[in-house]
Amino acid sequence: MSKTPVQTAAAAGPSSPIETATAVASSPATSRFAERFSPSPQPAARTYPDPAMETLKPPVKADPKLANAWKTKSGSELTEEELLAMPESEYMNDKQLEFFRTRLSALKDDLLSNAGETTEHLREDTSIVPDPADRATIEEEHALELRTRDRERKLLKKISQSLARIDAGDYGYCDETGEPIGLGRLLARPTATLSLEAQQRRELKQKMFGD
């Protein structure tokens, strides 16, 4: 007795192409539903280091020679490295104040010397120049030099105020918070009156609300 095509397909093994085609054709909706509504794979969870397991870095020790140099030198003789190596407990002691007084006074002398040179230069170049192009160039140089000297004049005022703060014992401390400004900031800007954080807050307020 010969088998029908259906019986032949049923008798085929699981790897039969006929059975595979029949199974795929019989459930397309189910496959599409599963692909559409199956949960998407979740990304791997981020791992964060456990602070308790982290190894603390040992503090960097200052060079003993630099750290003790202030004990045998005057404030005006200290280098920046020796100043930074001083212990925090000695912040704005007499020798640190002497260091910054010397630096501010030297800066003041340089600015005053430049101002005198500018005056002499302007007097020399006030002679009548026949060529209009040359005259315009000289006038432009004069204007630039005067603007530079105006900035230096304002800096001179800040230097005088800083020297007065040293005499009053207020130098090195923030006007707003009373906290130490820090040696690093004072070395970069000896006339600073605000800590870096206070300065950033003030600049942010000026941007938001204006002067």
Which residues are within 8 A (CB) of 13 and not within 5 positions of it... i.e. 6 or more apart?
19
Are residues 194 and 202 in contact, defined by beta-carbon separation less than 8 angstroms? yes
Q: In the structure encoding, which two tokens stand for residue 141, read together? A: 């140089």
Q: What number is the average pLDDT over the span 193-211? A: 88
pLDDT tens figures, 115-166: 766 666 666 555 566 677 776 777 777 778 778 888 888 999 999 999 999 9
Are residues 186 and 158 in contact, defined by beta-carbon separation less than 8 angstroms? no
Is the entire prediction scored with pTM above 0.85?
no
- Domains present along the chain, CATH in parentheses: 68-209 (1.20.120.910)
pLDDT tens figures, 93-106: 999 999 999 999 99
pLDDT tens figures, 17-52: 444 444 444 444 444 544 544 554 544 444 444 433
Cβ neighbours of 7 (radius 10 Å): 10
Three state DSSP letters for 170-186: CCCECCCCCCECCHHHH
Q: Which residue has the higher pLDDT, 53 or 199?
A: 199
